[in-house]
Amino acid sequence: LIVLGIETSCDDTAAAVVTGNGKILSQIVSSQADLLSRYGGVAPKMAEEAHSLVIDQVVQQALDNSSLTGEDLSAVAVTIGPGLSLCLRVGVTKARSIAGRFNLPFIGVHHMEAHTLVARLVERDLQFPFLALLISGGHNLLILARDVGHYVQLGTTIDDAIGEAYDKTARWLGLDISKGGGQALEELAHEGDSNSVKFKIPMRQYKDCNFSYAGLKTQVRLAIESRHVCVDKNPILSASSHERKSRADIAASFQRVAVLHLEERCQRAIEWAKEMEPSIKCLVVSGGVASNQYVRSRLNYVVERNGISLVCPPPNLCTDNGVMVAWTGIEHFILGRFDPPPPAFDPEDYMCDLRPRWPLGEEYLHGKSEAR
Ligand code: ATP
Ligand code: FE
Q: Which residues does 38 contact at the CB level (< 8 Å), separation at least 6? A: none
Each residue's pLDDT tens digit, 234-250:
788 888 899 999 999 99
Confidence of residue 372 (pLDDT cuts 50, 70, 90): very low
pLDDT at 206: 97
Please tell me if the CB atom of residue 10 comes closer than 6 angstroms to any atom of ligand 1. Answer: yes
pLDDT at 236: 86
Q: What would the mean pLDDT of 111-139 be, rounded to a whole number?
A: 98
Please tell me if the CB atom of residue 8 comes closer than 6 angstroms to any atom of ligand 1. Answer: no
Cα–Cα separations (whole angstroms), residue 241 to 231, 237, 247: 15, 10, 10
Task: Give 363 Cα–ligand 2 centroid separation in angstroms.
Answer: 20
CA angle 138, 59, 360 (to 5 degrees): 30
Please tell me if the CB atom of residue 160 comes closer than 6 angstroms to any atom of ligand 1. Answer: no
Residue 163 CA: nearest ligand 1 atom is: 18
Task: Give 23 Cα–ligand 2 centroid separation in angstroms.
Answer: 21
Please tell me if the CB atom of residue 209 comes closer than 6 angstroms to any atom of ligand 1. Answer: no
pLDDT at 237: 83
Can you give the chain as a three-state secondary structure string? CEEEEEECCCCEEEEEEEECCCCEEEEEEEECHHHHHHHCCCCHHHHHHHHHHHHHHHHHHHHHHCCCCHHHCCEEEEEEECCCHHHHHHHHHHHHHHHHHHCCCEEEEEHHHHHHHHHHHHCCCCCCCEEEEEECCCCEEEEEEEECCEEEEEECECCCCHHHHHHHHHHHCCCCCCCCHHHHHHHHHCCCCCCCCCCCCCCCCCCCCCECCHHHHHHHHHHHHHCCCCCCCCCHHHCCHHHHHHHHHHHHHHHHHHHHHHHHHHHHHHHHHHHHCCCCCEEEEECHHHHCHHHHHHHHHHHHHCCCEEECCCHHHHCCCHHHHHHHHHHHHHCCCCECCCCCCCCCCHHHHCCCCCCCCEECCCCCCCCC
Query: Ligand 1 pocket check: which of 160, 289, 324, 355 to mutate, most ligand atoms within 8 Å of Cβ?
Result: 289
Confidence of residue 320 (pLDDT cuts 50, 70, 90): very high
Please tell me if the CB atom of residue 7 comes closer than 6 angstroms to any atom of ligand 1. Answer: no
Please tell me if the CB atom of residue 66 comes closer than 6 angstroms to any atom of ligand 1. Answer: no
Each residue's pLDDT tens digit, 147-192:
999 999 999 999 999 999 999 999 999 999 888 899 999 999 999 9
Ion ligand 2 contact residues with beta carbon within 5 A: 136, 320
Residue 82 CA: nearest ligand 1 atom is: 4
Q: What would the mean pLDDT of 261-271 be, rounded to a whole number?
A: 98
Which protein residue's CA is at the shortest distance from atom 25 of ligand 1? 182
Each residue's pLDDT tens digit, 48-90:
999 999 999 999 999 999 999 999 999 999 999 999 999 999 9
Which ligand is nearest to the Cα of residue 83, counting in written order?
Answer: 1
Each residue's pLDDT tens digit, 189-216:
999 999 999 999 999 999 999 999 999 9
Spacing of C-alpha 137 from chain mean position = 7
Please tell me if the CB atom of residue 81 comes closer than 6 angstroms to any atom of ligand 1. Answer: no
ipTM, 2 decimals?
0.99
Query: Ligand 1 pocket check: which of 166, 295, 328 to mutate, most ligand atoms within 8 Å of Cβ?
Result: 166
* pTM, 2 dp: 0.95
Q: What percent of the chain has pLDDT over 70?
A: 93
Please tell me if the CB atom of residue 132 comes closer than 6 angstroms to any atom of ligand 1. Answer: no
Confidence of residue 272 (pLDDT cuts 50, 70, 90): very high
Residue 164 CA: nearest ligand 1 atom is: 18
Cα–Cα separations (whole angstroms), residue 328 to 77, 110, 151, 288: 8, 9, 14, 17
Task: Give 139 Cα–ligand 1 centroid separation in angstroms.
Answer: 9
Task: Give 113 Cα–ligand 2 centroid separation in angstroms.
Answer: 10
Which ligand is nearest to the Cα of residue 36, counting in written order?
Answer: 1
Q: What would the mean pLDDT of 320-344 be, rounded to a whole number?
A: 95
